Chain A
Amino acid sequence: MASPDAASSPDAFPTAPHDPPTASGFVSGFVASLHSILLYVLFGTFVGIGALGHDYGFSLPWMWASTLLVWAGPAQVILISVLGTGGTPLQAALAVTLSAVRLLPMVVSLLPVLRTPKTRVWHLILPAHFTAISLWVDAQRLMPAVPRDRRIPYCNGLGTGYMVAAMTGCTVGFFLAAGLPNAFAAGLLFLTPMVFMMSVMRNARTLVDQLAFGIGLVAGPLLATYRVELDLVWSGLLGGTLGYIIHRWRKAAR
């Protein structure tokens, strides 16, 4: 049980006086990614995405480029399946952008934790690009133990580790595609919801976050069933706001 938390212990950060914070922060972040279960899940998820891309006739370099630039599993699945089944570019763009709204609150809540007064805006572009569910979930767990001046390179190291795993998985999946039994392909795609659900159940220690997650879990599919437009936006605002209000009540009552 100790290994996933090893990277968050203070001694994972050598603090020799001449130790450049950027390089060592990046390395610590990269190493932390190797200790995270999410790295292996990303690998598995991208085996599934690589196989999907192969089946719909996309080339491997295209899959690599979309992994690097889009860097969001659900958006890539949408992009591949909409374009691959002959959907119009406009349909694909709309579906992608709707799925990507979730990235906004994640970036907004992550970047203030990384910043120092000396941080320039362009320093935050790469961390913002790396922000996806996996990085956001792990940052919640790992960042508090990282010295403030190393958080940006640490975040970039973490993101790089995930991206390497995803690219490798994508490549493996692309070549495996033909030989991958459907049950396994389904199992790989099932990794994503399972691991995100369990990670949040483990990491959400505050009542606000637990309530928000519980409400969102029910509201998301429910709103989608009734074909409410922007279902994820509404389930986010509903779950987040209700969770926050209940948290304020409890605080006021104490």
Chain B
Amino acid sequence: MRDWKSRVAAAFAARRVVPDADVVEELAQHAATAFEAARADGATDPDAADRVDRLIAMWCDDPAVALKRPKRRSAVTPPSDDRRAWSGTGQDAVYALRLLRRQPGFAFVVILTMALGIGATTTLFSVTYGVLMKPLPWPEPDRLVRITETRQGKEPRVRGTMSNGPYHTWTADHSTVEGVGGWINVASAALAIGNGEPTPVQILNVTPSLFTVLKARPLIGRLFVDDDADKLGTTPRRVVILSYGLWQERFGGQPDAISRVVQLDGKASIVVGVMPKEFAFPDRDTRAWTAWTPAPVRLPNGAMAMTIFSAMARLRPGITAQQATAEGTARARSAPDPGMTAVALFGGNGPAEIRAVPAVDQMTADVRPALLVLLAAVVLLLVTATANVASLQLARAAVRRRELAIRAAIGAGAGQLTRQLIVENALLGIAGGAAGIALAVAMHRALPTLLPSDFPRVDAIGVDWRVLLFAAGIALTASVVCGLAPSWHARRIDLVEALAEDGSAPVGHGVRVRTARTRALIMAGQIAVSCVLLVGAALLVRSFVALLRADRGYDPVNVLTARVSLPQDYSMERRITFLERVAERLRAVPGVRIAAYGNALPLLTSGGFRGFKMRPPANPSIEVDVNVMQRVVSPDYLAALGLRLSEGRAFTPQDTMTSPNVILVNRSFATKYLGARPIGASIPSLGMCRGDRDRWEVAGVVDDMRQGSVADPLQPEIFLPAQQVGCANAVSQAIVLVRTAGDPLPLAATLRSLVREQEPALAVDQMMTMEDRVMRALAKPRLYAVVLAGFAIFAVAIAGVGLFGVLSYSVAQRSREIGVRTALGARPSDIVRLVLRQVVIVAGGGIVIGLAAAFVASRSMSTVLYGVAPQDPLSFLAVPVLLIAVSVIAAIVPARRAARVDPLQVLR
């Protein structure tokens, strides 16, 4: 008797294959029986042996035999009795990890998509939370209110400020608030210690009460007391409190800094305190505080004074902002009438209305709408990223139906299968969430440089436990949502259908169609979301371009600008002499075309405001209140800034103290007050310290220019020649402008040294090209546009890739049908049409829904748009075209694949 077992084993070994022992035994028995049968048929012994050897050889050639026999005895082992909900989760996790390692591409795409979605959402949440919702960093911040004043509903020239009259009456007697504190931004001062070089430092003038209102405590030294501030509103800068940073920088953190004398703009000031490291008011740029009190309305010399400044109050416990508003307004009524100054500062001299608004709301009012729009956008983005992952999971689940069916067949309950899928998704969620948080942390590092410098509360933005909790929450939610769709399908797996699908039979189609339909729905939703985001982005981009292209009335190209703060005790003569010398020296520098100076610059400082009464030339019988922005400028100022003279003449060097007084007015002024023939009109008493020669003749009309944002309303303005102005305070800070032939920035050092050469104690700050100033002013709209465009591109990329996936899947599923169609005579173009029809249905449906949603949603954007309507037809037309293009591109490859389907391949 032959040893078939060793023959079979030897045959396998010759091919370096080692099957399981019982496979060898079974095959050996078959061989033995076959040998006996052949002998019984009459074959000779060697003949029969030969026949069996050939059989063995054929077995060896079939790789399936070499496979190990299934070791698990699952078919006979009853399912585990341990049915506690989460028993075996560890096993699930191990299994899931193994599965994912086998599909690195899938895992990568899912984790990347989730990371981007979660990272973006977390960052935006953190910014929104930090800026809009986080309590201010002072004790009991909900009791802090910002105080603002209007007169007959008219806003002051500096938005969100109050004036000295109501301030003094309210601080003298108050019942709803614990105190009112005010502050006013001053130009940076030159700080020098001992004989050191003066350097510009951002200083804030604050009332002694402000720190009390904030409940701030000094790190060392003391806070201000009432006596520190000059009661007449001037700023002698006798005492100064340093920020922690400045103290470290200039005094090395030595406690003996207290009582040291420093020079501020050449004036001796005593350091009385240092604030703690975390104290920043109103922002981190402010390095020191000096004591100040708003001037009384009635000055001792009988003149009327009006100042506008920012103010904050602390409500008494249990008092609402409305109650404080009522008290403030009532107290304001007893304030003395400031007369024409109120017209200058408020555009009207009606009774003052005081408003108390929660401090956070007031600080963040201008970024709130945009932040909320972006937050909504990022939520949409997260939804679409999640949907994309769910769609991928669905496709994968459809492919895994057999695996799931077998697991069900060997006793896994629907619950266990769902758990398996949820564990898998949780793993992906954890990985995606961790990557998303890492991305968010990286974004936070970059935020201070990415956010515009005037973005409020950047300090309050940070990754704290709330942000982490939020990120973990959305990661978990997203992954559970992603897992639910496929596990819902898994619950409905029909064993037979699923297993039969493995054969060549075209059954189970219904299930696949269900999956495909769900994916197509998700797809349409993603296109709709992309559509909404694209429309939003298009609107913001168009709005930004409109802002960029808007006519500001001046030409910002090739202009260098800087500010020089002039000490209060400089006479007007000294100021003009100094500025003339600097301008003269600058004109001699190669590349300089025009050097000029003035007291005003768009986007930096408006110069001054003035209210006066005049009789309009068209109707001299009435007297009107006029309020203007007042600019004191050198003759070349208009040319340096590129202002356009539309009528009359500009200033010349011959307009001096001895020549007739002339002014220029802007178009708004001329239209509003002077009528059709402005040139030659006479303007009385502008209070320019010219005694009885205070009459001015309009010599020219300048086209309107935009002082601030192009969205702000135009204001009447007057220009006065610096050489004809007598009051020193008309030019409290000087702006130097240089128009150059080429890039103006290299001149910065020259400008600085020329100023120092003339007046070594003065500091130059705000050195910037006019173009940079414009771009900085547009930083917020640009940021919003860039962020939303980024979201939209991401969403479109997801939708494009998703569409590609759905179509490829559907082409693969329908290859049999396509094969039959081709076999029956369909041409490739017919097949392409078949696929494109699907695209049209899915993308078209998504676009229609998306456009409708965008139409509704874009209304909420009206406050952040400029120069473009929320229902801008171009945006609403371009977006569908782009989306259709993307859809067609996504469809090209699957469609061609479908057209190339070989009926013989798919039908066999």
Is the pairing of A and B real? no
